[in-house]
Amino acid sequence: MLNSELGTLGTPHLNLPDYHIHTALCGHAEGEASDYGSAAKKKGIPEICFTDHAPNPDGYDPAHRMRLEQFSLYRDAVANIQDDGGTRVLFGIEADYYEGCEQFLKPWLESQRFDFVLGSVHFIDGWGFDNPEERHIWDSVNISATWRKYFKSIMRLVDTRLFDAVGHMDIPKKFGHRPPDRDLKEMVQPVLDRLAEAGMGMELNTSGLRKPVGEIYPSPVILSLARERDIPICFGSDAHSPGEVGADFDLALKLAHEAGYRDYFRIRQRKMERLPLPEV
């Protein structure tokens, strides 16, 4: 479908797909898939991809995800709105990388017909570092050492080749804890090299704007380094309520342009295609 068919000319950021959307099934979001679909349609967003938290029957972080038995509810809820017209709806998943995740994830991801698999890291040595309830632990750790461990996990995530893109690349900054730029650059560059080699994408995630850090993931520094390596980008709101769909995409589009990006990717059945970015 052409963007103009949706009548969104004049609001270019709304011509961008939103590739990071949760549903109530994960237990900490509100709204059914259909509510997110309606919200996207109302805003004239051409395409969305659901990426709810993957089930992990191996016992990993059961509090923040659907159970495996609920997965068919998720799949059906998304399938049910795929022919609604207006916004195109893709079927994806946000899967966490953690040590040993491959045992379940590899065969399971292969057995599903996902359009998009977003890879994230939410734990360091069993600590949910982005969980507000575990935020106090930041007071007793070395910030740079913690970030180093985080990026080590991202490196392993990339090496599994299980994921299409990395979600919220610098999420350890969520509460404002960050290493000096020089350290950050030194630790992130090998990760970005590896991402580029793997042909993986990176997400511009606007949810950081709604968190204490008040900044899109990733930061301009990281995004520019990604641009130097021609790492493809997509856009995600990480919506946990329907009103958040497409949130702050005007700022994300501006950030992408400022970093020198002129294109972004769309994906279908895990095959990426790069398209020109709308003008700011």
Residues that bind Zn ion (CB under 5 A): 238
- Residue of 49, 40, 52, 51 whose CA lies nearest to 15: 40
Shortest CB 29 distance to Fe ion, Å = 9
23 binds, among Fe ion, Zn ion, none (CB under 5 to 8 A by kind): none
Between 8 and 130, name the residue whose CB sits nearer to Zn ion.
130
Shortest CB 240 distance to Zn ion, Å = 6
Dihedral of alpha carbons 28, 203, 124, 53, sign:
positive
Shortest CB 108 distance to Zn ion, Å = 19
Between 187 and 239, name the residue whose CB sits nearer to Fe ion.
239
Shortest CB 50 distance to Fe ion, Å = 10
Rg of the chain (C-alpha set): 18
For residue 272, give the H/E element and its range.
strand 271-276
130 binds, among Fe ion, Zn ion, none (CB under 5 to 8 A by kind): none
- Residue with smallest beta-carbon separation from Fe ion: 120
Amino acid making up residue 196: A
Shortest CB 7 distance to Fe ion, Å = 29
Shortest CB 195 distance to Zn ion, Å = 18
Between 47 and 238, name the residue whose CB sits nearer to Fe ion.
238
219 binds, among Fe ion, Zn ion, none (CB under 5 to 8 A by kind): none
CA distance 53 to 268: 19
Site residues for Fe ion per CB under 5 A = 94, 120, 238
Between 6 and 162, name the residue whose CB sits nearer to Fe ion.
162
- Specify the DSSP class assigned to residue 202: E
- Beta-sheet strands, E only, within the chain: 18-21, 47-53, 88-96, 116-120, 165-166, 201-205, 233-236, 263-268, 271-276
- Residue with smallest beta-carbon separation from Zn ion: 238
Between 120 and 206, name the residue whose CB sits nearer to Fe ion.
120
Extract the tokens encoding 185.
Answer: 């650059």
Q: What pairs with residue 166 in β-bridges?
A: 119, 202
Shortest CB 271 distance to Fe ion, Å = 22
Between 64 and 194, name the residue whose CB sits nearer to Zn ion.
64
CA distance 35 to 272: 27
CA distance 47 to 180: 37
CA distance 67 to 57: 7
170 binds, among Zn ion, Fe ion, none (CB under 5 to 8 A by kind): none
8 binds, among Zn ion, Fe ion, none (CB under 5 to 8 A by kind): none
Cβ neighbours around 147 below 10 Å, total: 23
Between 8 and 207, name the residue whose CB sits nearer to Fe ion.
207
Q: Say whether the peptide bond before residue 218 is cis (omega within 30 degrees of 0).
A: yes
Helices (H) and strands (E) in the chain, counts: 7, 9
